[in-house]
């Protein structure tokens, strides 16, 4: 009898881990101070994947409420290629040198609000580090309010090159 329970439990654990199909090449984690409804994240994902074509594949994950703890865990875990977060969170992330330069993704002069000065190795570096969603066609085309939301690629992104491919579409004005 005990073996049947253990076997059943093992089967449940295995099946639970197999859900969801193939993993996307790049995940975009979004969190807003006002929350992001699941319908909006679904529209954003469909729009972004349509712009990208078949590769890389993308998944947009959004939370309906803001949680500082969840944000910290999501960034620290390093599972996402791109994060979209409120502007008031950028200062602490900037101080931790949490994002990579995007000068090869978009022109810094096209996104002056995304150019930040960050101290790296004792030197101040000025680069395009974040893309303001308020200026992105990705949000505008879907009539979504991107005010005070910024997209960036974290230094611990799983595949920075694929994340840059996706970010190029997000950075279209």
Cα separation, 148 vs 129, in Å, equals 15
For residue 45, the domain's CATH number is 3.40.190.10
Residue 100 lies in a domain: yes
Write the CA distances from 64 to 20, 74, 90, 96, integer angstroms.
Answer: 20, 15, 20, 26
- What is the domain count for the chain? 1
- In this prediction, residue 10 carries a pLDDT of 35
Summary count for the chain: helices (H), strands (E): 6, 7
Q: Rounded CA gap, 41 and 50, in Å?
A: 14
Q: Is residue 49 situated within a structural domain? A: yes
Asked whether the predicted pLDDT for residue 161 surpasses 80, the reply is yes
Residue 12: inside a domain, yes or no? no
Give me the pLDDT at residue 95, please: 81
10-14, 118-122, 163-167, range with the lowest pLDDT: 10-14
Query: Is residue 17 situated within a structural domain?
Result: no
Residue 142 lies in a domain: yes
Full domain range(s) for residue 41: 23-170
Residues 59-93 pLDDT 10s = 999 999 999 999 999 999 999 999 999 999 988 88
> What is the rounded CA–CA span in Å between residue 35 and residue 67?
9
- pLDDT higher than 60, residue 105: yes
Strand (E) or helix (H) holding 114 = none
Q: Is residue 18 part of a domain?
A: no
Task: Give the global pTM.
Answer: 0.85
Give the span between the Cα atoms of 74 and 4, in whole angstroms.
37
At 1-33, the pLDDT tens digits run 444 433 333 333 333 344 456 799 999 999 999
């Amino acid at each position: 009898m005990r073996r049947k329970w253990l076997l059943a439990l093992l089967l449940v654990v295995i099946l639970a881990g197999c859900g969801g199909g193939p993993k996307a090449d790049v995940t975009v984690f979004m969190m807003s101070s006002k929350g992001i409804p699941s319908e909006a994240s679904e529209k954003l994902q469909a729009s972004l994947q349509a712009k990208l074509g078949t590769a890389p594949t993308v998944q947009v994950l959004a939370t309906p409420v803001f949680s500082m703890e969840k944000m910290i865990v999501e960034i620290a875990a390093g599972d996402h290629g791109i994060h979209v977060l409120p502007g008031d969170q950028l200062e602490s992330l900037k101080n931790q040198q949490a994002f990579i330069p995007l000068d090869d993704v978009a022109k810094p002069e096209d996104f002056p609000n995304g150019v930040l000065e960050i101290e790296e190795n004792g030197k101040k570096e000025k680069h395009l580090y974040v893309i303001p969603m308020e200026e992105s066609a990705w949000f505008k085309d879907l009539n979504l309010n991107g005010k005070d939301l910024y997209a960036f690629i974290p230094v611990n992104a799983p595949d920075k090159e694929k994340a840059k491919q996706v970010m190029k579409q997000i950075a279209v004005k």
